[in-house]
Structure 1
Amino acid sequence: MINQATDSSSTIPPVPRGVAMDQKTAEQPDIKALNSAVKQAAAWVEPLQNEIRRVIIGQDHLIERLLAGLLTGGHILLEGLPGLAKTLAVKTLSQAIATDFRRIQFTPDMLPADIIGTEIYNPRDTSFEVKQGPIFASMILADEINRAPSKVQSALLEAMQEKQVTIGEQTFRLPELFLVLATQNPIEQEGTYPLPEAQVDRFMLKVVVDYPSIEEERAILDQVEHTDSSTMVRAIISPDDILAARRVVDSIYLDDRLKDYIVSLVYATRDPRRFNLDLQEYIETGASPRATINLKVVARALAFLNGRGYVIPDDIKGCALDVMRHRIRISYEAEAEDITSEDIIRKILDTIAVP
């Protein structure tokens, strides 16, 4: 078994709460200006969260990760048992944004054309016309994505990575604000197919949705009892607001020492011995370079959501599980000892010193 650190203070020095970690002050950006830009660009965040919470009770972690996906353009995979508001959360988010939304219900008998579209013969002018599929929307809910076979799941790959779709000999660009939010039931449930590794890696985050607390479930019961037209979701922001916020997120300051910290966290999943971690027998393959990139962009998004123009170590540690849990393939030894990828990530976070 992996021994969790009992006193993280012995391996992790005090975390600086400010931004002045780099002694080369001449090279630092104007933090006050960045904070001001973030405050102005994030004016819609709290109203949007409040609007979503009128429908979704609890699930604060899920809501925060959905907003992080909006701010970075990264696709999100939501995993949880049925009935935990995964689909409702995505639908509510889409309604709170003045943009187009499509829900695709994945089933075992689906074909790739059901997603991307196909060419249809027009007998009037003896030519083929393209009929676009539901993928041509800004926000896509791929509901129960693991209930469709791999050929259908792979139809999303080009769209997710390249933001374009090829039908016949024609290539079509997707909207600039294009986001795939997929839900899946746990793999061990009957009638599901494991997602191909290439597609899993294209999801920026894998968020595990858990049961609500007992207080939250009591509030859900009251909300259902009084459901009426007042729970309709209002559009709070437009795609232009989100695209403008993304430009601010890209400018958020990330210290070089934190960049080194990100690289160390990811590299430790590939070569744990280098960091004095006895984990090599539990890891089949480590996280890909996409994990490194996504840790950076998600940490910036979390800083933005917290009203800061700079990243702190807690932003990186806070998103490490969601960024890396689906990018580490555990070994048979780990399965035999009931060790998960989350256990491995937590051990790495407890061991590698924070700058």
Structure 2
Amino acid sequence: MSRKHTLAIGCLLLAALAAAYAFVSGFSAREDRKREQAEAAGVIPFTDCAELAALSYTSAGTSISFEKDKDGIWKYTEDDDFPALQASVQTLANDLGDITAKRDLGEVTDLSVYGLDAPAATFSFTGTDGQDTVITIGNETEDGDYYAIKSGDSHVYTISDVLMNYSDYTLYDWLKTDELPSVFTADVKEFKIDAEGKSSHYIRTGKDDEGNFIWYRDSKESEENRVEDVSVPNHLATAITNLAIFDCADYKVTDSELSQYGLDNLQAVIWFSYEEEDSQSDSGSETEDETEAAKPSEEDSSDDENAEDAENAENGSDDGSGMSSLKEFSIEIGSLDESGEYYYVRPAGSMAADRIEKSLVDDCLNEPSSNAGSDTP
């Protein structure tokens, strides 16, 4: 190869290297400008995942993870029986999938400067597309944000404290606590309280001419059982409707663990039936012809109205505005907790040992003397 030819090849290589350098330098400059513009606009995409299939986080040595089942329900990965609060888990999923960074600090050689070598928390998620993302969060900034990095990206960013707000969550912060039926005194049709060999059983049949509830003790088949002073059943019915779960002590109690909460030797059992208004999903769906055909004739309307009034009085409904169904519920009362301020309880159908304030339970168990309250709550 001639010297002249070799020199030409060298010049070409030098030109190619210069062009490559110019391209890289220009690309880097463009990226810097884009980053500066994004920071100025306050819109630096950090994560972008429309739908998550799994998520987890680790903080202070505690790791918690959830994943969606085939029905789209979030499940605690360690126990399918854990009743996860779906709305809360989904909120975390939404937050993880759509994070906007405040600043892009570029590539950093020493992660320890930002506390990213010993992270305060780590969050991971998998999208429905199978893509995994890991977010590592380091120190807090002076303005309350946090330094963060994500898998597949060598830059360090600052993000808001949204994720760190979850880092202190324990498993029970994700628990869907048992709830008692939301009913009013007027909804209670019948109740029975069995406690320490004593039973209080009352049945309500409607209202009298003065608007007071009509109560029977033990059986409504005999007028001898009708309660003259209805303040006692009114008080107890109201006390039952005031019961409310304070928190959950143990979401999954096995038979061998019942004694820890006094649920193997119950203090009392409270049972009640109540009316619940049915949803009128078919309301307004009748055609004009069907509506016209359903109208009673003038001569029948008076009898129908009287029958309706009688039925409403029996059901305790004043206006007959909607159909209702009769439901029932019971709750077992165990022992007091260590503080002596709460009873351990177990609602019907639950695996949990919950807690209810002692005063609320005592109000149900201690039947008042006559004339302890008004006739109609």
TM-score normalised by L of structure 2 = 0.17
TM-score normalised by L of structure 1 = 0.18
Considering only CA atoms, is the larger Rg found in Structure 1 or Structure 2?
A: 2
Greater RCO, CA 8 A, separation 6+? 1
